[in-house]
Amino acid sequence: MAKFKMYNNINLDPRMQRQALQNKYNAARVNLLAVVVFTVINIVSLATGIGGYFLFSASVPYVITMFGLVLCGMMPDEFYQEMEMEGVFFLDESFFYITLAISILILGLYVLCWFFSKKKPVWLTVALALFIIDTVVMFLYYGIALDMILDIAFHAWVIWILVSGIRAHKDLQKMPKEDPIIEAEFTEVPNDESVEFGAQSSELDAPADAPAEAPAEEKNENDDGFSSANGPLDI
Give, in degrees to the nearest 5, the angle at Cα 222 between 220 and 226: 115
pLDDT of residue 87: 60
Tell whether the model's pLDDT for residue 192 goes beyond 70: no
- Residue 11 pLDDT level (bands cut at 50, 70, 90): low
Measured at the alpha carbon of residue 71, what is the angle toward residues 65 and 75, in degrees to the nearest 5? 70
Q: So what's the pLDDT on residue 120?
A: 93
- Determine how many CB atoms are found less than 10 A away from the CB of residue 206: 7
What was the pLDDT predicted at 205?
54
Q: What is the pLDDT of residues 42-87, one digit of tens each?
A: 999 998 888 788 888 999 999 999 999 989 988 877 777 766 665 6
**E strand spans, the chain:** 5-7, 10-12
Dump pLDDT digits (tens) for 114-159. 999 999 999 999 999 999 999 999 999 888 877 788 899 999 999 9
* CA-to-CA dists, residue 146 to 3, 15, 155, 213, angstroms: 49, 45, 15, 114
209: pLDDT strictly greater than 80: no
pLDDT at 44: 94
SS3 7: strand
pLDDT at 109 over 90: yes
C-beta of residue 124 within 8 angstroms of C-beta of residue 169: yes
Q: Is the pLDDT of residue 13 over 90?
A: no
